Structure 1
């Protein structure tokens, strides 16, 4: 039951983040779809952590693979926030669109973080059967 509520909450948060991204692109004062390239960063951001989780035994200990994957994930997240700022600075999009896209980035990346916190625990108790 708790996993269902968490899944519904994460789906709502992801829909809210994507809505903010689409509003930053589609509202009549903005009308440019360049910020949609942020979707690439949304898809790429969990990949290094999934690789680290697959090839390390314990995620709490520090090792070279885990630290490299954290570094790559941080670079992807920073790039997602940098894209609308650079586009606004070069007058490709307006500042309001950059603000909406950055707001969407915050919501989406917090949703991804929450997914990893909620659904990657290995504390399943098999004695409850």
Structure 2
């Protein structure tokens, strides 16, 4: 089980990512990129649903896990695509897009780290590589 120190570290990095998103919006006075918060909330949902319905199956044996990974990937790519499209259509500035993309990277890596640290089973075991 992960310690309180790792939980505090994850909260710190999530706050840094959200701060980068807020700076990308506030510095350029354009709040359309705040819709990315919806993608932040939706990204863990497919994995939580798959974990609920396939407790007894291995992740490699279940087509539900494949669907979960596919949907999660679509959500994450959409979160990176929205600022790109907004910058391409000149709705937001390019520097705002760069700040938002950096914030996206930090937040999604934090969500990934949370799932790796706080799951009961180790899906990404490095012991099988040796």
Taking only aligned residues, the RMSD between alpha carbons, in angstroms, comes to: 1.5
Residue correspondence of structure 1 range 48-59 to structure 2 within 5 A: 48-56=46-54, 57-59=56-58
Query: 4+ runs of 1 displaced by more than 6 Å?
Result: none
Contact 1:53 1:59 (C-alpha < 8 Å) held by counterparts: no
1:20-65 C-alpha deviation (Å, 9 max, x unpaired): 00000001xx110000000000000000000111111244323211
1:43 equivalent in alignment to 2:41: yes
Contact 1:18 1:104 (C-alpha < 8 Å) held by counterparts: yes
1:64-95 C-alpha deviation (Å, 9 max, x unpaired): 11100110000000000000000000000000
TM-score by length of structure 2 reads 0.88
Gaps of 5+ in 2: 123-130
- Label 1:106 to 1:59 Cα distance change in 2 as closer, same or farther (>3 A): farther
Gaps of 5+ in 1: 124-129
In the alignment, the residues of structure 1 paired with residue 58 and residue 13 of structure 2 have an alpha-carbon distance, to the nearest angstrom, of 26
- Label 1:59 to 1:49 Cα distance change in 2 as closer, same or farther (>3 A): farther
